[in-house]
Amino acid sequence: MALFGLLAAALLGVAACQAETVVVDWDIGYVQVNRDGYNNRRAIGVNGALPIPPITVTHGDRLILNVHNSLTVDTSVHAHGIFFNGTSYRDGAGQVTQCGIPPGESHTYVIDAVQVGTYWIHGHYKHQNADGLRTPFIIREKQPLHQYDDEVLLALEDWYAEESAQKMEQITQPSATTAPPPPSFPFGLINGYNGNDTKPIRFEPGKRYRFRVVSMATSEWFKFHIPGHKLEIIEVDGVDCKPIVVDGLDMGPGQRYSAIVTALDTDEFNYTYNVTLYANFIPLIKGLNPRYYQGLIEYRAGAPVKNLPPVSDRQLEWADDIKMEALDGMPELPVDVTFGLESKVVRTADNRNLRALNEYPYTEPQVPTLFTAFAMGELALDRRVYGPQTEALIVRHMDSVRIRLGNPTDLVHSFHLHGHTFQVVEYGPVDKRTIQVQPNSPLTLETLPDIPVRRSPGAPMRRDTLVIPEFQYVDLRFRADNPGTWMFHCHMDTHFAAGLAVTFVVAPDVLQRTQKLPESLQQMCLRQGLKASGNAVGNQGYDFTGLPPAPVAVPSNATKPLPP
């Protein structure tokens, strides 16, 4: 690996001279695999295989990702964390910036590496990422900002026995009760295979290793740490941070970190690293949750593994958004406009158990929201044309937007904003009187933990995916400097499928003046008999003939107020 590192450095030196076009061909199709050592199942792979090889490019390169759809259903692909500034139609979110790519057809995604850092590329059509359609996407700096000797990539996945379409249908179907469907708990994969089967990571005494840790999980949480070693975090979701030393990373679905680990001075012992997959959910799935995985940090072949006394998670220092600061020192943004959003559980009159972030559970429009923004002239500035269930939130160009996101429930979420990073300015407790817990919760007002208000001390950390703990609000800020239609959604697929999403429509007036919707994207809809222009249902103005009725919320006993 050390040799490889040197070689990579030499290649990097050459590549630094000029930008390259990197062409990657993906034939997306079904594969039969046993990834966790237990479940042989149908999955979605690329070029006949899983895992999908990670994609690495250099700052300034252009990635041409040619996708062919060999599935029997539509597909689309999203580069998570990439801004697509000026090319919002390349974001890949199904029914937001494009129709799905139909079976048998191809589409080319052009991804310009204008950012640097650790990202991932995944399916963004009907949660196909959970079936395997996901891989890390690394954009290296031309001149590394930090000095290190080698890189180690850890791609973390939760892997279920059942296919996601099956699971999502179960979640959104009418159901006689508000009881959640029977729990199924995934296995943990590291770099594509059973988390206990990973190759040893070679360390040489005194050398520095940049770990890129990518949570490609769909529903569950991952913790990572290397007993006996510290992690110096340098990058958070593609944003450089002031280096900060922690013991471990605790990651929600979609989050990424780079951290430098300095090898110890002696090769007397080997060490193990610990990866824990767990459901961040108060009524734990007993017996299965959590699952532990271990891998070897190999200093010397044949060296004994260092036996360290067990440490509880509470004794360790974990990465914390509010303690981290952006390296560029960007101060807290002022507030031009505030959107108050709240994660809610909704029971509908037709007996479905859904979720909402604003008024309605998010439902895909018939016309991709971006196409409506391009087509509606001045009306594009009126949120009504996008249809109520799309939950479009209109933002003026260059406004500084505050999202005050409340989570009065006992569920934890991992929220992702497309097209931007946001500042994490403040966390605090929600009003106790608004708290809703699940019927079997042991909590009362008296046993509720005291939650302090915590505010960023300096340059707030920016990231694109954020964990919001139970009973807390978070204050986020972003500059609306990227015209387009950008989803803000929970990255836990079961929550996303149930409607926990809104769409920010950023400066549609500027969008119409400065960008052009490719004809080929409209044709892709039309060939499938889908509409490609007009309001949310493809009509003119405020004619919503054909709009399915919005779900009517009824009182639910899925959650109840916290007992006194």
Ligand X SMILES: *[C@@H]1O[C@H](CO)[C@@H](O)[C@H](O)[C@H]1NC(C)=O
> Which residues of the shown chain bind ligand X in the complex (CB under 6 A)?
83, 85, 177-179, 196, 200, 227, 270, 274, 291-294, 296, 298, 301-305, 308, 310-311, 420, 481-482, 557
Taking the C-alpha atoms of residue 128 and residue 124, their distance in angstroms, rounded to an integer, is: 7
Is the CB of residue 136 less than 8 Å from the CB of residue 119? Answer: yes
The residue among 198 and 414 lying less far from ligand X, judged by its C-beta, is 198
DSSP, res 47: T
Give me the least distance between CB of 241 and ligand X, in Å please: 18
Nearer to ligand X, 262 or 272 (CB): 272
| 426 close to 213: Cβ distance less than 8 angstroms | no
Closer residue to ligand X in complex, CB, 242/397: 397
Q: Min. distance of Cβ 298 from ligand X in angstroms? A: 4
**Spatial CA neighbour of 133 closest among 208, 73, 211:** 73
Q: How far is the CB of 532 from ligand X (least distance, A)?
A: 26
Specify the residue, 306 or 383, whose C-beta has the smaller distance to ligand X: 306
Q: Per residue in 7-16, is it b (16+ CB within 10 Å) or e — as a string?
A: eeeeeeeebe
> Least Å distance between CB 26 and ligand X?
26
Q: Which is nearer to ligand X, 125 or 137 (CB)?
A: 137
| Residue 532 CB-density burial (10 A; 0-12 exposed, 13-18 middle, 19+ buried) | buried
Shortest Å, Cβ 11 to ligand X: 27
The minimum distance between CB 554 and ligand X, in angstroms, equals 8
- Nearest residue (CB) to ligand X, 210 versus 420: 420
How far apart are CB 432 and ligand X at their closest, in Å? Answer: 24
How far is 154 from 198, CA to CA, in rounded Å?
10
The encoded tokens of residue 350 equal 């037709």
The single residue listed with the structure tokens 């699971």 is 167
Rounded Cα–Cα distance for residues 182 and 449 (Å): 28
Nearest distance, CB of residue 129 and ligand X, angstroms:
22
Contact yes or no for 537/367 (Cβ under 8 A) = yes
Closest approach of ligand X to the CB of residue 14, in Å: 28
> For ligand X, which is the closer residue by CB, 473 or 504?
504
Pick the closer one to ligand X by CB: 313 or 359. 313
| Minimum distance from residue 235 beta carbon to ligand X (Å) | 17
Closest to ligand X by CB, 118 or 472: 118
Q: Which is nearer to ligand X, 256 or 291 (CB)?
A: 291
- How far apart are CB 123 and ligand X at their closest, in Å? 24
- Minimum CB distance to ligand X smaller for 32 or for 177: 177
The alpha helices in 457-551, defined as continuous H runs, are: 493-497, 508-514, 519-526
CB-CB contact of 129 with 253 (8 Å): no
Q: Are 470 and 411 in contact (CB under 8 A)?
A: yes
Q: What is the closest distance, in whole angstroms, from the C-beta atom of residue 126 to ligand X in the complex?
A: 27
| 275 phi-psi bin (left φ>0, alpha ψ -120 to 50, beta other) | beta
Asked whether 362 and 500 are in contact (CB, 8 A), the reply is yes
H/E stretch holding 8 reads: helix 2-15
Cβ–Cβ < 8 Å for 150, 209:
yes
Chain mean position to CA 228: 30
Answer for the pair 94, 126: CB distance below 8 angstroms, yes or no.
Answer: yes
Say if CB 273 and CB 262 are below 8 A apart: no
Instruction: Pick the closer one to ligand X by CB: 26 or 209.
Output: 209
Question: What SS3 class is residue 193?
Answer: strand
CB 468 within 8 A of CB 474: yes
Residue whose CB is less far from ligand X, 53 or 331: 331
Q: Could you tell me the smallest distance in angstroms from the CB atom of residue 169 to ligand X?
A: 19
Q: Which residues pair with 18 in a beta bridge?
A: none
Residue of 437, 495, 503 lying closest to 470 (CA atoms): 437
Q: Taking the complex as a whole, how short is the minimal distance between the CB of residue 321 and ligand X, in angstroms?
A: 19
- Three-state secondary structure readout of 40-74: EEEEEEECCECCCCCEEEECCCEEEEEEEECCCCC
- Residue closest to 67 by CA, chosen among 97, 84, 90: 90
103 vs 180 by CB, closer to ligand X:
180
- Ramachandran bin of 39, using left for φ above 0, alpha for ψ from -120 to 50, beta for the remaining angles: beta
The identity of residue 507, as a single letter, is: A
